Amino acid sequence: STTDALQRLEGLGLTAADDRHRLPALMAMARIYEDLGINTEAARIYDQVASLSNEPEVVAQSALALLRAGETERALGIERAINR
């Protein structure tokens, strides 16, 4: 079930030894929440993703997801961090 998948991904995201392994689990979890229309939870996870990644495409995707969730200030904070 979707709930089981989310629980497994959350476990992977929390127990992964380093960000390189944690990032894919968090990204997958955030996309599932987005697909389910649970944008506030997706935004919370994308916020974590943005803080863990230094890949511009991943960070930009996180900022866009935050904007879709109505988290304008958090998205702008990411944008400011990118432009530093």
Structure-token pair, residue 17: 């030894």
Quote the Cα angle for 61-14-47, to 5°. Answer: 25
pLDDT value at residue 54: 82
- pLDDT tens figures, 13-42: 556 556 677 888 888 889 988 999 988 889
Which tens digit of pLDDT belongs to each residue from 33-68? 899 998 888 988 988 888 888 888 888 888 888 888
State the Cα–Cα distance between residues 11 and 61, nearest whole angstrom. 23
**What pTM did the predictor assign?**
0.72
